[in-house]
Chain A
Amino acid sequence: QTVVTQEPSFSVSPGGTVTLTCGLSSGSVSTSYYPSWYQQTPGQAPRTLIYSTNTRSSGVPDRFSGSILGNKAALTITGAQADDESDYYCVLYMGSFWVFGGGTKLTVL
């Protein structure tokens, strides 16, 4: 069974930088998995942030960036703002199906 791993929670100070990661229970994440990232606030539908590892979706501020760091996909928020406090999900494309990570709850304080 494919398991995509994310940090359950993270905190960052306003104006700070934080990197959330997205790994595989076995193996390394590469661009071939087309990692994408989504932001979700309570009661709202997910919002697409990053696709194909590092491409920002339309309207997403450039303080959000995606990359591969080591054997994981990563989402970096530079200059965190209060309204970045959300849940963040990554998803990997496994060739014929998708697997979401468990999500990271980001606190900005």
Chain B
Amino acid sequence: QVQLVQSGAEVKKPGASVKVSCKVSGYTLTELSMHWVRQAPGKGLEWMGGFDPEDGETIYAQKFQGRVTMTEDTSTDTAYMELSSLRSEDTAVYYCATVDGDYVYFQHWGQGTLVTVSS
């Protein structure tokens, strides 16, 4: 069974960057398609981007292009999401989630990481 364990809460100042990690167990990262979804306080879920195994590229939601970078360290089965130029609106819980390749749904979820952006 896939388990995703994320790094702990972060507090950042506006303009800074944050890097959230997601450690995989039960499978290797190369067997999975990892994506990131965020949720601002009291708001809904928002897809940010993830790995497309069909072409081997990482795809990003248009809203975050240029500001987000998603990487993977296959030696440690850990995925990372780095968001730069943080603003208060980026305060949210960030989730990693695996996407099933056949039915393109979010199959397994991490527990979430709260990122607070405040001066």
Of listed B35, B37, B105, residue having the most chain A CB within 10 A:
B105
Q: Which of A9-17, A22-30, A74-82, A90-98 contacts B (4 or more CB under 8 A)?
A: A90-98
Chain A, residues 54-94, CB within 8 Å of chain B (1/0): the string is 01010000000000000000000000000000000101010
**Are the C-beta atoms of A46 and B103 separated by less than 8 Å?**
no
Q: Which of B24-32, B39-47, B71-79, B80-88 contacts A (4 or more CB under 8 A)?
A: B39-47
Within 8 Å by CB of A100, from B45, B59, B62, B107, lies B45
For residue A21, CB closer than 8 A to chain B, the reply is: no
Give the Cβ gap from A52 to chain B, nearest Cβ, in Å. 4
Given A51-B100, A97-B61, check contact A46 B105 (CB 8 Å).
Answer: no
**Are the C-beta atoms of A97 and B59 separated by less than 8 Å?**
yes
Give the Cβ gap from A21 to chain B, nearest Cβ, in Å. 15
Residues on the A chain within 8 Å of B37, using CB: 46, 100
**Are the C-beta atoms of B112 and A38 separated by less than 8 Å?**
no
**Are the C-beta atoms of A97 and B47 separated by less than 8 Å?**
yes
Residues on the A chain within 8 Å of B61, using CB: 97
Interface band, chain A: 20 to 34
For residue B69, CB closer than 8 A to chain A, the reply is: no
How long is the Cα–Cα vector from A45 to B62 in the complex, in angstroms? 24
Q: Do most interface residues of chain A lie in helix, strand or loop, or is the interface mixed?
A: strand
**Are the C-beta atoms of A46 and B104 separated by less than 8 Å?**
no
**Are the C-beta atoms of B45 and A89 separated by less than 8 Å?**
yes
Give the Cβ gap from B48 to chain A, nearest Cβ, in Å. 10
For residue B109, CB closer than 8 A to chain A, the reply is: yes
Given A34-B105, A46-B106, A52-B103, check contact A102 B44 (CB 8 Å).
Answer: yes
Residues on the B chain within 8 Å of A57, using CB: 107
Within 8 Å by CB of B103, from A47, A55, A101, lies A55
**Are the C-beta atoms of B47 and A98 separated by less than 8 Å?**
yes
9 A-B pairs with the lowest CB-CB distances in the bound complex, closest first: A51-B105, A36-B105, A52-B103, A98-B47, A45-B109, A93-B104, A100-B45, A103-B44, A34-B104
A-B contact pairs, 5 of them (CB 8 A): A48-B105, A55-B103, A89-B45, A91-B106, A96-B52
6 new A-B pairs (CB below 8 Å) besides A45-B109, A93-B105, A98-B47? A34-B104, A40-B45, A46-B97, A97-B62, A102-B44, A103-B44
